């Protein structure tokens, strides 16, 4: 298990205006527990402190305050020699791959094993084994310059895994890759996590990546964790503005502008229509909620926005719909009684041209 307790990193920076130095918290008072074998995502916008945080885990950036534990070992208290030994059991992959350009793929994967003083013959076997695990066995004699981005990252992953680490750190490992390649690299990390029971800490600025492979996620904003929890919870019930903003890229949950221009009223007036958004997750997604609604109540349903997706093969989605008719309140009641998150967005006059 990995535990960060009250970790902060302060940089002394020069104020450009006054040219005085002052303290800047790149991360502030971060506490996290990461369960063994899980894939933990850390998401935030550029400059939020993600890289600083992950680099505090393996002490590439020693924290200014706080403590870091990996499987009971306090990383923040190790001697330089012990720290090097501990790092040999932590793999790390990078956005820019950081492969040795004057070593072949074989040489790159062998590198951590040489550091760990493996025997030549054992290195040979291990490199072959791990290369075929990541699907790069045909490229062992190539130099990195000749590989595609996806292949380079596979080499990066193979190198990170070669010495059988307990923990894999990934700093934007897919940010330089196209969507297709990103998917395949993420799937590889997922597979390895399942096969080897490896704990993974993964940093990204894309909710898609979190959705694809993480179990839990922490949202970082201005160096602080604003929200954290299981991925399904964060996706279906985001509480903080920062989280919702990050989610808008994966879940289209906003009305198109042609609607928002009309203006909602907070309260019903006359026979105005009700606009509401529902979020569903899991089994309920398979149920015919909308047709039930129409059948059971005297309402018409007009779907304005619909988005369905899945988080690790559990379906989830959101609907924005406009209800008109006599029994809107009854229908709303019915929806609230189901295991759905329902949000009333407002009311629009019947004559307002939302229906097309």
Partner 1 sequence: MSDDLTALLVKGSLETLYMVGVSSLFAFAAGLPLGIILSVTAETGILRNKPLYSALSSVVNVFRSVPYIILMVALMKPTKWIVGSSIGINAAIVSLSAAAIPFVGRVVESSLREIDPGIVEAAQAMGAGAGEIIRKVLLPEGLPGIIAGFTLTIINLIGYSAMAGVLGGGGLGDLAVRYGYQRFMLDVMISTVIIMVLMVQFIQIVGDKLAVLTRHDRNG
Enumerate binding residues for ligand ATP (CB under 6 A): 11, 13, 24, 26, 44, 46-52, 205
Nearer to ligand ATP, 205 or 244 (CB): 205
Residue in this structure with the two tokens 């019903």, named with its chain if needed: 268
Distance CA 271, CA 142 (A): 71
How many angstroms from the chain centroid is the CA of residue 263? 34
Determine which residue in the list 51, 151, 163, 204 makes contact with Mg ion, applying CB under 5 A.
51
Q: Residues near 168 by Cβ (< 8 Å), separated by ≥ 6?
A: 90, 91, 92, 93, 160, 161, 189, 192, 193, 198, 199, 200, 201
Nearer to ligand ATP, 166 or 224 (CB): 224
Nearer to Mg ion, 44 or 150 (CB): 44
By CB under 8 A, tell whether 85 contacts partner 1.
Answer: yes
User: Near partner 1 by CB under 8 A, which window of 108-116, 189-197, 239-247, 256-264?
Assistant: 108-116
DSSP single-letter state for residue 220: E
By CB under 5 A, tell whether 52 contacts Mg ion.
Answer: no
Question: Which residues, numbered 169-188, are part of the site for partner 1 (CB under 8 A)?
Answer: 169
**What's the first-to-final CA gap in the chain, in angstroms?**
54
Nearer to Mg ion, 30 or 105 (CB): 30
Nearer to ligand ATP, 47 or 282 (CB): 47
Binding at 44: pick from partner 1, ligand ATP, Mg ion, none (beta carbon under 5-8 Å per type): ligand ATP
Q: Residues near 350 by Cβ (< 8 Å), separated by ≥ 6?
A: 270, 271, 272, 273, 324
Distance CA 317, CA 291 (A): 17
Nearer to partner 1, 101 or 308 (CB): 101
| Least gap, CB of 9 to Mg ion (angstroms) | 13
Helices and strands, counts by H and E, the chain: 12, 14
- Helix/strand/coil percentages in the chain, nearest 5: 35, 30, 30
User: Near partner 1 by CB under 8 A, which window of 94-102, 184-192, 278-286, 308-316?
Assistant: 94-102
Binding at 305: pick from partner 1, ligand ATP, Mg ion, none (beta carbon under 5-8 Å per type): none
SS3 196: helix
Residues that bind partner 1 (CB under 8 A): 58, 60, 83-88, 90, 92, 94, 96, 98-103, 111-112, 114-116, 143-146, 159, 163, 169
Residues that bind Mg ion (CB under 5 A): 51
């Amino acid at each position: 298990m990995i535990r960060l307790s009250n970790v902060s990193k302060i940089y002394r920076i020069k104020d450009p205006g006054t040219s005085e130095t002052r303290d800047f918290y790149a991360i502030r008072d971060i506490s996290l527990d990461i369960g063994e074998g899980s894939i933990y995502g850390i998401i935030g916008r550029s400059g939020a402190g993600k890289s600083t945080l992950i680099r505090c885990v393996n002490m590439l950036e020693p924290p200014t305050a706080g403590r870091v534990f990996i499987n009971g070992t306090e990383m923040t208290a190790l001697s330089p020699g012990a720290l090097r030994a501990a790092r040999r059991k932590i793999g790390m992959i990078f956005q820019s791959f950081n492969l040795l350009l004057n070593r072949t793929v074989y040489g790159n994967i062998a590198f951590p094993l040489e550091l760990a003083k493996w025997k030549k013959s054992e290195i040979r076997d291990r490199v072959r084994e791990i290369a075929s695990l990541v699907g790069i066995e045909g490229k062992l004699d190539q130099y990195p310059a000749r590989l595609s981005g996806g292949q380079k990252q596979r080499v990066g992953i193979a190198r990170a895994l070669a010495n059988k680490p307990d923990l894999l750190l990934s700093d934007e490992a897919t940010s330089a890759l196209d969507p297709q390649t990103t998917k395949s690299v993420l799937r590889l990390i997922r597979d390895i996590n399942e096969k080897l029971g490896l704990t993974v800490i993964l940093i990204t600025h894309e909710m898609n990546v979190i959705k694809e492979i993480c179990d839990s996620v922490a949202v970082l904003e201005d160096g602080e964790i604003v929200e954290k929890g299981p991925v399904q919870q964060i996706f279906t019930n985001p509480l903080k503005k920062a989280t919702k903003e990050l989610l808008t890229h994966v879940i289209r949950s906003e009305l198109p502008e042609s609607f928002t221009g009309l203006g909602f009223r907070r309260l019903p007036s006359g026979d105005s229509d009700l606009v509401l958004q529902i979020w569903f997750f899991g089994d309920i997604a398979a149920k015919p909620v909308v047709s039930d609604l129409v059948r059971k109540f005297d309402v018409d349903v007009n779907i304005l926005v619909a988005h369905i997706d899945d988080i690790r093969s559990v379906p989830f989605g959101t609907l924005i719909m406009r209800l008109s008719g006599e029994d809107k309140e009854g229908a709303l009641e019915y929806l609230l009684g189901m295991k759905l998150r329902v949000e009333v967005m407002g009311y629009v006059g019947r004559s307002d041209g939302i229906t097309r």
